[in-house]
Amino acid sequence: MFNSFDIIYTSFLFIAIYIQVFFLIVFFENHDEISDNEPKDISDESYPTVTFLIPGWNEQDTIVATIESVLELDYPKNKFHIIAIDDGSTDNTWERMQAYANHDQVQVLTKENGGKHTALNHALNFLKTELVVSFDADTKINKDAMRKAAHYFMKDKTLMALGGTVLIDKPKTIAQKAQEIEYEIFSFTKKMLGLADAVFVVPGAFSVFRKEVFTVVGGYNNAHNLEDIELTIRMQKAGLKVRHAHDAIVWTKGPDTIKKLYKQRLRWSYGFIMNLFDYKAMLFNKRYKNFGIFTLPMTTFTYIILLFVFFYSMYKVVLSVVDTIYKIYLVGIGQLEWPTFDTFFINTKIYVIMAMFLYISIILQYFFGREISKVSKKNFWNIPYFILMFSFLAPIWVLKSIYNSITKKKVLWR
Amino acid sequence: MNKKRYIYTFIITLAIFFFSIWLSNGFQSQKVQSLRDLESRINLDILSVETRFSLLQKTSCEHVVTNDNSKTGDIGFNEDLNNVALKIKSLENQLGYENADVISLKKYYSLLQIKDYLLAKEFHDRCKKNTVSILYFYDADCQDCAKQSIILDKIISDYPEIRVYYLDKKTNNPALDTLSSIFKITQSPSLVINEKTYTGYQDIDQIESYIPEIKTWKALKDKENATSTATTTATTSKKR
């Protein structure tokens, strides 16, 4: 009755449900902080000064809209600046940036191509404000986002870094629609991680730091092309206070084709594995508190269970295909008829029931994420795209990233 | 670090886990019970037909048709019993081969099959009806049995007049043992067609050769198809 597969699957599901329950508990414990507690009557003067760092490589199509979007912020004009950095683009990005060279809120820099982290580090040299914002060149920002973000820093002097909420702007393709749902779920999980002092990553698309952060942990590293995760790891390692703002929202288009999405996620996956390897000492290490005990293991585990479910499903599919081919070989095709549906045949083993709980909790996260970030656009018909993407595409990029990380290791050792 | 939170989470997850076990067991018992009810109902139907047979002195065969499955003017427990067979197989996958409920359900099913076989035989003898019965003795782990089952499924769907009784030799069933020894069954798979035993795997051509009635049915079917195409061409030509 209980074979080894059953036991493994059930244990994995137990851990997965544990993670979901953890998030839900954090949610219910902190329901007050999440609901609106807008501070009233703050003078413009009391707001901190901010610099937006916008690095760009070949972003000629979006850089102007991005800079305009930031300039339109509802934030005291004398309190925020932009530093736009062209990282040796081969298109007209630098020309487009230069149009703002004489704007009193904008400073434009150019340099030889070296990667996003070099652009950011270069700009940090010119930093004069209290806060600094890492911002992507293809992102639009809500008018109130910077004010909302600033409130966190003003209320809490010990807060050092704040991740913003990223959502998908007007998704058109299947890939974008799947991401739309995914990012709404992220809004929930990231906020919960923030409340639990267990932030996994402050996203490079929009995160706010006190300038002291870079004095304490240093500037950005290449970090296998995942500089935002690696910076967060270093901040967590140094014990800095990192949180997430569910109400400071920016919008990005997201990769439009499945191929581009795959490439992006492959980079993220590979980057995560390599960084995990670099910082493996932090895994389950009590010294790094919630980040070490919960966050890192949790993220690693999601990769493991994803692969497990994928392999098992493939195994079942292959078995049934082989079965059907054998049948056709023996007796020819005429046999195929739809079996009548009888609820009797629904699998009710324990792991099926637990998997149901898991799916329900993820759907709940989708609704809660929308609630806390106040998303009103109805899009639950995109959920099937999200499910398809994660069931079929995700295992492929995870497998490829594992393969890449193993072979790359081989290269290094030579 | 909030240790308490981790502990609460564990407790709640454990509660969900036990709740899932409870739910799962609930569903399994429900399935077992519904299958038992189904088997009892079939038994009742069989009993009723047997009683009517005993009551009737003469061969009043027209009065004995019980189901809507009377295409061939036959007693039809076949569909119900097939339904039971599928459900038992599903329960076997979920609860395991050694499960006590599964074993007792299989025993009951075997008996019902044998009763059905005897009833069909009597019906055939008394009413000179067109049924052909195949007794199929198999084992869960024998190599050729999977192949044989597939062949037999095809035969059933091609010729509804043929009844196949799937008998699992491993079921601890004295009636089945008696049947086995009557037909001198030695290995799996074995077929008994029209009271003759055939040992080992038989392919579709071999089986068709053992059943002479098939030729007549095929001829009849071809005649039917010919006339129906003739009528359709007639009607279409009329329409013009």
ipTM of the complex: 0.86
User: Which residues touch A256 (CB under 8 Å, ≥6 apart)?
Assistant: A172, A173, A175, A176
User: Rounded to two decimals, what is the model's pTM?
Assistant: 0.85
Q: If you average pLDDT over every residue of chain A, what do you get?
A: 91
The rounded percent of chain A whose pLDDT value lies above 70 is 96
- Mean pLDDT, residues A232-256: 95
Say yes or no for a CB contact (<8 Å) between B23 and A353.
Answer: yes
Q: Quick one: closest CA in B to A351, which residue?
A: B20
Nearest to A175 by CA among A253, A251, A255: A255
Q: Where are the domains of chain B?
A: 17-55+63-127, 130-226
Say yes or no for a CB contact (<8 Å) between B12 and A25.
Answer: yes
Neighboring chain A residues of B16 at a CB cutoff of 8 Å: 17, 21, 354, 357
B residues 115-144 closer than 8 Å to A (CB): none
3-state secondary structure labels for all residues of B165-191: EEEECCCCCHHHHHHHHHCCCCCCCEE
Q: Quick one: closest CA in B to A197, which residue?
A: B1
Nearest to B121 by CA among B184, B81, B163: B163
> Rounded to a whole number, what is the distance in Å from the CA of B54 to chain A's nearest CA?
36
Per-residue pLDDT tens for A131-163? Answer: 999 999 999 999 999 999 999 999 999 999 999
The arrangement of strands across the sheet holding B132-138 comes to B162-168, B132-138, B190-193, B196-199
Partner residue facing A350 (CB), from B6, B21, B96: B21
- Residue-wise over A104-129: b if at least 16 C-beta within 10 A, else e? ebbbbbbeeeebbbbbbbbbbeeeeb
How far apart CA B117 and CA B214 sit, in angstroms, is 20
Report DSSP state, residue A200.
-
Per-residue pLDDT tens for B123-138? Answer: 777 777 667 888 999 8
Partner residue facing B154 (CB), from A18, A331, A348: A331
Q: Give me the CATH topology for the region A47-269.
A: Spore Coat Polysaccharide Biosynthesis Protein SpsA; Chain A (3.90.550)
Say what the alpha-carbon torsion angle B221, B226, B227, B229 is, to the nearest 10 degrees: 120
Determine whether A242 is exposed, middle or buried from the number of CB atoms within 10 Å of its CB (0-12, 13-18, 19+): buried
Q: Is A193 on the interface with B (CB under 8 A)?
A: no
Residue B72 has a pLDDT of 43
Confidence grade of residue A40 (pLDDT, cut at 50, 70, 90): confident
Neighboring chain B residues of A196 at a CB cutoff of 8 Å: 2, 5
- Mean pLDDT, residues A55-81: 94
| Coil, strand or helix at B211 | coil
Q: Is A357 on the interface with B (CB under 8 A)?
A: yes
Q: What is the DSSP string of B122-148?
A: HHHHHH----EEEEEEE-TT-HHHHHH
Q: Name the H helices within B56-142.
A: 78-95, 100-127
CA A354, A358, A360, A364 torsion: positive or negative? positive
Residue B127 has a pLDDT of 72
The token pair at A237 is: 């390692």
Residue A161 has a pLDDT of 97
Contact B135, B167 (CB under 8 A): yes
Contact B223, B167 (CB under 8 A): no
Residue A130 has a pLDDT of 95
Say yes or no for a CB contact (<8 Å) between A196 and B5.
Answer: yes
| Coil, strand or helix at B96 | coil
Contact A178, A389 (CB under 8 A): yes
Neighboring chain A residues of B8 at a CB cutoff of 8 Å: 25
Query: For the ranges A176-180, A185-189, B43-47, which has the lowest average pLDDT?
Result: B43-47
Q: Quick one: closest CA in B to A357, which residue?
A: B16
> In terms of CATH, what superfamily is B130-226?
Glutaredoxin (3.40.30.10)
Say yes or no for a CB contact (<8 Å) between A289 and B1.
Answer: yes
Q: Is B99 on the interface with A (CB under 8 A)?
A: yes
Contact A80, A49 (CB under 8 A): yes
How far apart CA B182 and CA B205 sit, in angstroms, is 26
Task: Report residues of chain B scoring pLDDT below 70.
Answer: 1, 56-78, 129-130, 229-240
> Rounded to a whole number, what is the distance in Å from the CA of A236 to chain B's nearest CA?
13
Q: Quick one: closest CA in B to A18, which residue?
A: B13
